Each structure stands twice: as C-alpha cells, then as structure tokens.
Amino acid sequence: MIEVRTTHARYPVIFADDVADVARAVQDAAPKGRLLIFSDENVAGHYLSPLQDALEAAGRSVRRFVVAPGEASKSVERAAALWAEVFSGEVDRNDTVVALGGGVVGDLAGFIASTTMRGLAFVQVPTSMLAMSDAAIGGKTGINIAAGKNLVGAFHQPRAVIAWTNSLHTLPKRELSSGMAEVIKSALIDGQDSVDLFRKVAAKAMEGDTDAIRECARIGAGLKARIVSEDELEHGVRSYLNLGHTFAHAIEHASGYGSWTHGEAVAAGMVLAAEYSRDIGAADDSVVELVRDLVRAVGLPDTPPRMKLSDWVEPIFRDKKRAGDEVKLILLRGPGEVFGKATSFDVLSSWLEKNHAG
C-alpha cells in the first residue's frame, strides 16, 4: 500500500486484483450511505455489474451512471445532465461517488462529487494504467470547455484509490501503451533507478505480465503520492508532474481530443520538452535520445503532429501555468533533474515556428 498525506486528507493507494478485493476496499473507504458509481460504456461492460453485485450482496445501495468513453464526456453539458440524473433519485450527504474507469471518468466523477451538495465523499477505482499511475491520485478533478482542457475544476481528494489491476488485461494495447507515458514521466522525474526499473519491466508489462504491470503502476503511483503529499495544491514541486503536458494539451486540442490519446500526446510532449531543454543549453542530445528510446519502447510516438503555429500557441496561451506574457515550462536536464522555467510566448513561438510548425 502507498499512502498519500496532505493538509486536507490522508488516504491509501491500494492495488487489488479481483472484484471481491475491490468491493471490500470500497466498503472500507465508504462504510455508510449510498454508492453512486460512475463509469463509461467500455469499462461498464466488463466491470460495473460484477462490482455492483458484490456491493449489493454486502447490503449496499448502489446507483449507476454511465457515460460515453472519451474526452467529449468531460463537457459542461454532460456534467449538467449528470447533476440532473443524480438529483432525479435519492441522494444525501452520506453518499459516496465512486469513479470506476480511466482518467476521463475520474476527472468527471470527481468534479460531480466536488460540486454536488457542496461536496460528496469520493473513491477512485482506476482501471487504466494512466489513472492507476497518475490521474486518480492527487485530487484534481475537471471538465473541458471550448477554450481548453481541464480549465474548469477543483481539488477534491478521494477517500481511497483502489487500483483494479486485473482490469488492465482487457485494456486495448493502445490504451495500455498510452498509460505508460505517465509512468515514463514519473520515472524521469524520480531518477535513474526508476528509469532503469522501467526499462527492465516495460516489455513484460506490454505483454500482459501482471507483476510487471503492477511494478509500472507503482513507479507512477509512488512518485505521485510523494509529490502530492508535499505539494497538494501545485504551488511548488507538483508542477513538475506537468513534464511534457503543456505541449501535449496543445496537441490534444488541435486534434479534437480524439485522434491522439492523452498518453500519446504526453509522449511527444516530453520529447519536445527534452528538445527545448537541449536547445537552451540545459541538456544534451543524450537526454533527447533517452526520452525517445523510452517512449518508443512501449509503442508511443516520439514526434508530434505537424501543426499550424496558431494551433500550438493558442492553447499554450490559455494554459493554467500562464502568468502574464509567460508560461512555465517543465523541462529536463536528465533523470531526476526536472526544473521549471518561465518562458515568454515570443521566445516559445519562435522556437515552435522554427522546429514544429508548418
């Protein structure tokens, strides 16, 4: 078990293999009230009914809410429809929202939990590598608006994060690969030992080896828990978890949140961060090649799509890390040597135009 300790919360990150273990952990985290389980159509088809059956067999009242898979569900319209659905039945302050799914479900369900009756208890049951290793931990919730990704949201810490590891065996290989981007990010932030461990287990994890999959998830979850415990509200080192993400969000926005997965965009974004680090003299070619090798090892892209300069700059200009005419880029000197650098839009625009716009 991994523990997260913040000023406002203390909770475990648990790795559970089967439905009985998951149901017991949910019961422990939310011992009273109704359970409002949110999932998407893909995950629900495999895991929602078994979990509901196990919880109801233990005497719990369960309500279920299922959305379409993908970023399009993280919309104001979908949130409004879910609020209406929640209040169409019984709900009170003793109830708990349970997010069963990947990062999209966790963000959306967490946002519903944070805003319903000024805040319901919340439990994360991640079923994707991306969510287990990163997104489900730390209390960030949010929805997308036309201006960009996750621009409306709140910090709402869960009571527990219960990683359902066996669920990864039904995850499409592309989604498993996508989740590995966050594991790579965590390994780079953590240092050379984590990079070496990832190299050791990555191929086995992609082949479906349960122990290797759990090891990858632990690399991400352990790093995320330590950083969140130190900096819950992202005033300091938590911003390091955005390595590659400023560029990634621009890629996702330009591609319409569909043709590139989040992890694919993060992989390309980390390569761009390494290239920019090299070009300002903070790193050398070996760092760029290291990042390229790591993302290629799990089938992720090491080159961003060719985009118009405006497609790069406009989402970056609206980035949450913007301050005036600058944006804080998270850059990389080498494993374990991540740093933030305030960068002017003029300088960044010139670099993008020269290297990655067209």
The C-alpha atoms of residue 112 and residue 123 are separated, in whole angstroms, by 12
Say how far apart CA 304 and CA 269 lie, in whole Å.
Answer: 7
Distances (CA, A) of 43 to 14, 38, 68: 19, 10, 10
C-alpha span between 178 and 197 (Å, rounded): 18
Distance (Å, whole) CA 305 – CA 301:
10
Catalytic residue among 34, 262, 278, 356: 262
Residue 289 known to be catalytic: no
238 classed as catalytic: yes
Q: Which residues are within 8 A (CB) of 189 and not within 5 positions of it... i.e. 6 or more apart?
A: 223, 227, 240, 241, 243, 336, 338
Residue of 34, 218, 238, 356 with catalytic role: 238
Among residues 74, 149, 159, 245, which one is catalytic?
A: 245
Q: Among 63, 140, 185, 253, which one carries the catalytic annotation?
A: 140
Give the span between the Cα atoms of 266 and 259, in whole angstroms.
14
The catalytically annotated residue of 175, 182, 252, 275 is 182
Which residue is catalytic, options 42, 218, 242, 278?
242
- Concerning whether 118 is annotated as a catalytic residue, the answer is yes
Told to judge if 242 belongs to the known catalytic residues of this protein, a careful annotator would answer yes
What number of residues does the chain have?
358
What pairs with residue 327 in β-bridges? 322, 343
Beta strands in the chain (DSSP E): 2-5, 10-16, 35-40, 62-67, 96-101, 121-126, 140-145, 148-155, 160-164, 322-323, 326-334, 337-344
User: Catalytic residue among 34, 60, 224, 278, which?
Assistant: 224
Q: Is 140 a catalytic residue?
A: yes
182 is known as an active-site residue: yes
Q: Exactly one of 74, 185, 214, 249 is catalytic; which is it?
A: 249
Catalytic residue among 234, 252, 264, 275: 234
Task: List active site positions.
Answer: 118, 140, 182, 224, 234, 238, 242, 245, 249, 262
